[in-house]
Structures are given as C-alpha cells and as structure tokens.
Amino acid sequence: MQVMYPPEFGQGVFFYGWSLFKMDSESNKNDEVAANGFRREVRTFVLRAGHFTNAERKDYEELLPVWGIGYDKDSVLDFRKVFGNDNPVVIEIGFGMGRATAIIAENNPDINYLGIEVHKPGIGKLLGEIRERNLKNIRIIAHDAMEVISDMVADGSVDAFHIFFADPWPKKRHHKRRLVQRPRTELLSRKMKAGGYLYFVTDWLPYAEFALEELSLTDGLRNKFDGFAPHQEWRPETRFEQKGVDANRVISELMFERR
C-alpha cells in the first residue's frame, strides 16, 4: 500500500482560497471579542457567504448528512470506525472548492482524506464531486479546523496534513490569524504520526517565508528539504492557483516531517 507521500517519503490537513476571505477594513475588526465582552480564540478565517449555486446548496443539504461528521468537542475520532478501514489518514485544512481534494482522493483510493472547511459553497461542491466520482475515502467536517483538530483528533493519529493556499493575512496587524505559525503548528505536530508530513503551499511569498521560519522552530518537525520544497507533481493545480500564476505570484511549497 502506497501512502500519498512525495517519493522521498517512501511507502508506509483550510485551501482557504484567500481571495474569498480577504478581510475588509471594518466588517470584522471586533470579531476577536465575543458578545459577552470576553476575548476568544483568534480565528484563522473569516466567513464569507460567497455564491451558493442551487446545485451546491442541494448537495450540501442532502449529502452532508451522508459524508459529513458533526463537530463534538467531547468526542475523539476513531478513524477506523469513520472510514471502515485502517488506511492512512490525511487531513486537509480548508479545501476551498474541493477540486484538488477530489482528484487526490480518486488517485489514491487506499488513503483516507478528512477535509475540514467552513465555506458552505465549497463543501457543497466537494460533496457533489464525491457523488459523481463515487469516492469512498473522503469525509467532511464543517467547522473551525483548529477546534476540530484540538478536540477531536487523537495525538499521533494523522499521517499527513495538507494546507493549500491558506489565507495569508498580508497586513501585519492580522498576522496573528495566520494558520501556519506557532502554537498552531505545534498542535499539528503533536497530532502527527512519526514519519508523517505537513505539506503547505501558498502564492504569497512573505507568508511562505514566515511559515518556513515558524515550521523550522516547531518542536518535533524537520524540513525535508533545504528551504522550500520542489513542486510536488501529484498535487493538481487549481483555478485559484492559476490565478496566482497569472498575477506573477510565486508558488512556494514547504514539506516538513514529524521526527
């Protein structure tokens, strides 16, 4: 059985489509304070309604009960029960519209994929892809990924995390919202199996450089390459990625493994 690692790993995780979640100057400036006045956890995303097509809405409503898992802070996932097998588990944090997720899962039926996303149109789109491609190895949780991973994922249980094009939060005052930074990366490291990997891709070079430093300082992780990773051919290009290329933005990739 071949795990979906790059070739160097041998054999043997919020795409947050940041253009969809770009923060305006006023709409969310108080979102770190709950209604009762107490400060709550800083979120790595901002919800945007987006365009919900009739097909996406229908699939969201009808198929999420079939392939979705409800968030429960008091319940730890048993991946063997969730997927019905002992195959490796990859968690994708923020899969956007889900095209890359569906293609990777279709190409690797012996690997289980758990996608965590809050963008309802994207969830509906991926659910439709699961039906059309007859995929058996994807489950979805529609909730904040950091809460899911902290509360519902056992330590040392995940073979890989995929994070494709997370919101870069380019303004300095928003950097605390970036997903790939400590202590969030330390949480991800703790959830990974020894030899597992974290694969991060972004089209925002300052975020890539920031993430490289944060991951390098994360306990338990080591860079598989000298600096940025080479392009991983098994990862499908998305339309969002092509927009970055068309805008002359550099696509940067990082690959860290759990020691």
Cross-sheet strand order for the sheet of 192-202:
138-141, 112-116, 89-93, 158-164, 192-202, 252-258, 221-223
120 marked as part of a ligand binding site: no
144 marked as part of a ligand binding site: yes
241 marked as part of a ligand binding site: yes
- Strand duo 252-258 + 138-141: pairing: unpaired
Residues in a beta bridge with 8: none
Catalytic status, residue 219: no
239 marked as part of a ligand binding site: yes
171 marked as part of a ligand binding site: yes
What is the rounded CA–CA span in Å between residue 53 and residue 168? 27
240 marked as part of a ligand binding site: yes
According to DSSP H, which parts of the chain are helical?
54-67, 79-83, 99-107, 120-133, 145-152, 184-191, 205-216, 239-246
Catalytic residue among 59, 72, 155, 167: 167
246 marked as part of a ligand binding site: no
- The DSSP output letter for 73 is T
- The binding site for S-adenosyl-L-methionine comprises 92, 117, 144, 167
> Mind telling me the catalytic residues?
167
- The binding site for substrate comprises 171, 203, 238-241
- The binding site comprises 92, 117, 144, 167, 171, 203, 238-241
